[in-house]
Every structure is written in C-alpha cells, then in structure tokens.
Amino acid sequence: MGTINNKQLPIIERFNDNNIKIFALGGLDEIGKNMYVVECDQELIIIDAGIMFPGDNYGIDYIIPDYTYLMDNVDKIIGLFITHGHEDHIGGIPYLLRKVSIPKIYASGIAVGLIKNKLSEFSNLSPNIIEYHNDSVFKFQNFEISFFKTNHSIPDSSGIAIKTNQGYILHTGDFKFDFTPLSGHTEYAKLTKYATEGVLCLLSDSTNAQVKKFTTSEKKIGDSIKAIFKQIKGRIIISTFASNVHRVQQIVEASVEQNRKVIVFGRSMAKVVNFSLKYNYITAPPGTFITAKEFPHLPPEKITILSTGSQGEPLAALSRIADGSHKQIKIIPGDTIVFSSSPIPGNQEYINRTINKLFKAGANVIVNSPLTDTHTSGHASETELKIMLSLTKPKHFMPIHGEYAMLKRHAQLAIATGVDPQNIHILDNGEVLTFAPNKVFTHYAVKAGAIYVDSNNEDVDNSIIRERKLMSDDGMLGIVFSTLNYKLMRLPNVVSRGFIYVRDSEALVTDIENKAKELYENYYSETKKFNPNQFYNLLLPTLADFIYEKTERKPMIVPIIMNV
C-alpha cells in the first residue's frame, strides 16, 4: 500500500483477491487518453490505450496515462481490447508497448490498419494483433469477451461485453444511435439480450450528455453537403477531420454528383484517403481523385479540394491556403470554403483567424450551423444515452469518457431511467470500483496520472512542463550552424521542441533554414569575423519576425554555433 490519492483513498499496487474490479487509468474528468481496466483474480483486461492532446502546448505533444499499475501487474494482463481507431483510444499504444508487455491486442477493421500504420513509425514494436469481428468470442478463466457493433464517426466501432460470474460488464466505446447509418446498424438485439441475462455494470460514453435530444444522422449531413455543392459555382474547398471516413465518402459522392474531381491537401488527410481507398472504406469511380499537378487545368466548377485544417491549426493545409502561403493553391474570388466540422474546445480562436483570412482573400465561407448541417457529432446525446440505459438495464452505472459535468449529467440521466442512485459511480481516474460477492465499494485507488510526451516521443518530467509554462507558450526552436573557421559549411539545421512537428512542416523548416543561412552569410560577409553576441542580436529579432509572420507563434529561438 503506497500513498493516497485526491479522494484520500489508499493506493494499492497489487490486488490479491477475486473480487471484480473496474477502474480508469485515463478518460474520467477529461476527454482523451482513454484507458479502462477490468480485473478479477489473476486476470486483467485493458480497454483502449489513448492519448490526449494538450490544450496548451508547452513543448509537449501528447499526454498519456501513467502505466505504473500495469507495469506492476504485467503478469495478469490478458490483452488490450480496442473499441475503435480514434487517437484518444489507440494513440497511446506505442508508448504502452514500450513500457508494458501486452500479449495480444484485439482490434477490429479499420482500427487494425490504423494501429499497424502507427506502429510502423516506431522501431521494434510488433505486437500480436488479433482482428475481432461482431460475432467473435474470447474465453478466459474469469471473463468471456464479446462485442456489439455501434455507430460512431469512424467505421468499425464496437462496444465490449465482458461476461463475469456476477453478470455482464458493458463498455459502450464511443457511440451514437444512427438509424440511417452509412455502414450497418447498431446491434440493438444484443443490448436487450445482455439485459435479459443481467448487466452488472454499464460504462457509457458521456461526451454529449449535456446535449439535448438526438445527434443528427451522418446521412443527413451527406444530404446537406450534396445540396450545398449543387448551389456552388466556383471551386469548393472543404475541410473535415481526416479520420471521419464516412464524411469523406459523402464529400466524394457529392463531388461526383456535380462532376467535380477531388484533390486532397494535407498529409494526414492524404494518408487516410489512400488507406481507405485501398481497403474500400472509400469508393469512387476511377479518375475521381486527381493530383496537384492536374488540377490547375480544370475549370473552377470541376474542382473539390479536400483539406485538413478544420480546427484552424496554423500549419495545416487550410490555414496555409488562407494566408496565401500554400505552394499549390491561392484563394481566388468565387471560392467557397466549407467547414464540415465543429470547433474542438479551445480552437475557436484559431478557426476565426482562418475564416477572417479566407473572407479577406475574397472567398465565401460556410460553417456548420442548424441551417447548414455540414457536421454532426459521433457521440450520443441525451435521448440516445437514455435509450442505451433502457435497453441494457444495468444494475450499476459508471459514466465514462467525459469531463466531470458530463459524467454528472449522464448520472442524472441514468437515475431518470431507473438506475438506483446508490449504484451510480462517478469516479476519478485510478479510483477502483470493487464488486465483492455481497457488497460494492470504492475504498481503494491505483496509481493514475498524466505523463507528458514530446515530439521525440520521450517522456517529459512534470517539472519541465511547469518550467516551460513559465518560459514560453510556443515551444522552442534550435538552429544549428555548422561552420569551418566560421564559414558556413551547410544549410543550418532546425530542431524543434513543441513548436512544430518537423516531419509535418518540411516547407516551413526549409524556409527557416534558408532565412538563417541568408542572415549568417550577410553578417559574416560584412564583418569577416564572428562575434556571437553581435550575430545573435541580429539573428534573433529578424528570425522571430519571420517565424511569427508564417505561424503567428513566437517560439524561443536557440542558435547553436558548431565551429570546427
């Protein structure tokens, strides 16, 4: 027994009992880094291994859960079960695998491809991935695991049903009820079957618990997009979340209907589209997709540009199009930009900036609203959550996947559908819900917390994050000048910490490197000798302005002279 957590619960490093225990290592009182654990006796199941994207950057790129408990109990781990392929559910897998040996990863459909894709960017990680299907069943000593298909904003999403000697534990994954789905219906019959056999505890997605009524069907959004496309005469630039494969399919269909060719801008979008075409998640008549080279020859009314940057990310394709720095396309009057997305909290300011620039450049901009219906959520609203509760009739209820207010609201909905208020469990990450034969309690916790990861995939210490918060909001940019007798030998080399992903921003990096080279050579050809202070005084303000102009960010710039 170690220390205590926020709620003054003792922290347990290892359990030696055969009670059923459920807890989250991430995902409670937050949106992101989802990771839930179900344990009994000598067996432990992990559900999902997500990351969270930090709202403020401070030189970190991801937040992952603290895996200490899993490291201490690695011998009990049966496997990792993945509900679907979103980053807040699979993004942590590479980091988890580095720390914890996972015998098997169970995933379905597109998630399998996305996980393999992700792992291919890391060396020495080749886990045993088992592809499960709707009717797969995996039997263990204490658990029998099966799946129920759901609808969500990425194909092949599932809930997980864990049969125990006290009844089913159901984990919904992320879901909505879409009665006109693009790829198959939710398996409603399974939900009522679980209820008949007895559901001990339901863990359900709380993201939209505060949203009234029903989440709009994806099909309806497709219809709206088609109607909008019909009226637009010039070029269409449409931006959505790259992983929303159904949406991309509908955008492609709307384009084909209007005899438009589709061109893809943005690395992550291109990756998803290629992948989805290969595995038939996206289908289109041959010749629908064209390259950047081909599109200048087409008239505006024949062009749809599918782009990343729906969140106004400064370096994504759409932002670069908006500020005129995109190499392949400039805004022309008559262009229409459609946001098939909604702002993730915290991004509104970036998005507004992008929209203003687009208007200034002479484009028309359409954003999602009740009038335009260019976007819908992948998460169940109030009525759907009540339907889930009514179909599964759980004895106990644990709202998951949401900030505290969402969990709290979801708990109220559960009580309204008839769950005993005593049996509602709004937990913290790490807090353990224990089902003993005759009682249910939350007397213990396991170690849970946040680990910060930077763009080099290294863990970053909490104290460093605090320092970075004080130091800078915009990360750090190092520039290495390799010189021989102070004559520049090659192009200066940019290294970034938390400012940009160098991999994703080759053009920007090259621009900065060229600018640095120009400044160095101008300085050295004038002075013929090298004085570091003099050079830095010249370099830093000029380069800072240059970077700000391109990114509207002010990273700390650290020049390094390597003279031989």
- Which residues are known to be catalytic? 205, 379
| Closest by Cα among 205, 171, 202, 170 to 406 | 205
Least separation in angstroms between CB 378 and Zn ion: 6
Residue ranges in 402-431 that form contacts with Zn ion under rule CB under 5 A: none
| Conformational region of residue 305, where left means phi above 0, alpha means psi within -120 to 50, and beta covers everything else | beta
Least separation in angstroms between CB 454 and Zn ion: 23
Identify which of residues 174 and 373 has a Cβ nearer to Zn ion in the complex: 174
Least separation in angstroms between CB 221 and Zn ion: 17
Q: Helices 382-392 and 404-416, interaxial angle, to 10°?
A: 50
Least separation in angstroms between CB 403 and Zn ion: 13
Least separation in angstroms between CB 49 and Zn ion: 12
- The span from the CA of 557 to the CA of 519, in Å, is 14
Identify which of residues 205 and 335 has a Cβ nearer to Zn ion in the complex: 205
Q: Rule CB under 5 A: is residue 174 a binding residue for Zn ion?
A: yes
Chain position carrying tokens 């021989």: 484
Identify which of residues 88 and 313 has a Cβ nearer to Zn ion in the complex: 88
Least separation in angstroms between CB 557 and Zn ion: 36
Q: Strands, E, within 436-500: which ranges?
A: 440-445, 450-453, 459-460, 476-484, 487-488, 493-497
Residue 168: its H or E element: strand 167-171
Residue 303: its H or E element: strand 303-307
Chain position carrying tokens 């995902």: 27
Identify which of residues 156 and 313 has a Cβ nearer to Zn ion in the complex: 156
Identify which of residues 5 and 276 has a Cβ nearer to Zn ion in the complex: 276
Question: Which two tokens mark 178?
Answer: 């879409």
Q: Are 221 and 247 in contact (CB under 8 A)?
A: yes
| Closest by Cα among 10, 28, 9 to 449 | 28
Give the x-and-dash track for 205-244 against Zn ion (CB under 5 A): ----------------------------------------
Least separation in angstroms between CB 248 and Zn ion: 16
Give the x-and-dash track for 365-404 against Zn ion (CB under 5 A): ----------------------------------------
DSSP per residue over 418-451, as a string? Answer: T--GGGB----TTEEEEE-SS-EEEEEE----EE
Distances, alpha carbon 197 to alpha carbons 28, 161, 298, 329, in Å: 28, 12, 61, 59
Question: Which two tokens mark 305?
Answer: 């540009």
Q: How many residues bind Zn ion (CB under 5 A)?
A: 3
Q: Strands, E, within 308-363: which ranges?
A: 336-339
Identify which of residues 86 and 320 has a Cβ nearer to Zn ion in the complex: 86
Q: Are 229 and 327 in contact (CB under 8 A)?
A: no
Identify which of residues 262 and 380 has a Cβ nearer to Zn ion in the complex: 380
Identify which of residues 66 and 88 has a Cβ nearer to Zn ion in the complex: 88
Half-sphere exposure of 530 (CA within 13 A, CB side): 15
- Cα dihedral 116/117/121/123 (nearest 10): 20
Q: Look at the chain and count its residues.
A: 564
| Closest by Cα among 157, 95, 97 to 132 | 157
Q: How many CB atoms lie within 10 A of CB 514?
A: 12
Identify which of residues 88 and 178 has a Cβ nearer to Zn ion in the complex: 88
Q: What's the N-to-C CA distance of the chain in angstroms?
A: 56
Q: Rule CB under 5 A: is residue 156 a binding residue for Zn ion?
A: no
Identify which of residues 36 and 444 has a Cβ nearer to Zn ion in the complex: 36
Least separation in angstroms between CB 138 and Zn ion: 22
Residue 445 pairs in a beta bridge with 11, 431
Residue ranges in 9-68 that form contacts with Zn ion under rule CB under 5 A: none
Identify which of residues 174 and 474 has a Cβ nearer to Zn ion in the complex: 174
- The span from the CA of 195 to the CA of 417, in Å, is 14
Residue ranges in 60-99 that form contacts with Zn ion under rule CB under 5 A: 86, 88
HEC assignment per residue over 205-269: ECCCCCCCCCCCCHHHHHHHHHHHHHHCCCCEEEECCCCCHHHHHHHHHHHHHCCCEEEEECHHH
Q: Are 186 and 382 in contact (CB under 8 A)?
A: no
Least separation in angstroms between CB 243 and Zn ion: 8
Least separation in angstroms between CB 347 and Zn ion: 17
Which among 141-149, 166-174, 487-495, 519-527 is the span making contact with Zn ion, rule CB under 5 A? 166-174
Least separation in angstroms between CB 154 and Zn ion: 6
Which among 55-63, 173-181, 456-464, 495-503 is the span making contact with Zn ion, rule CB under 5 A? 173-181
- The span from the CA of 149 to the CA of 151, in Å, is 7
The residues that touch Zn ion, with contacts defined as CB under 5 A, are 86, 88, 174
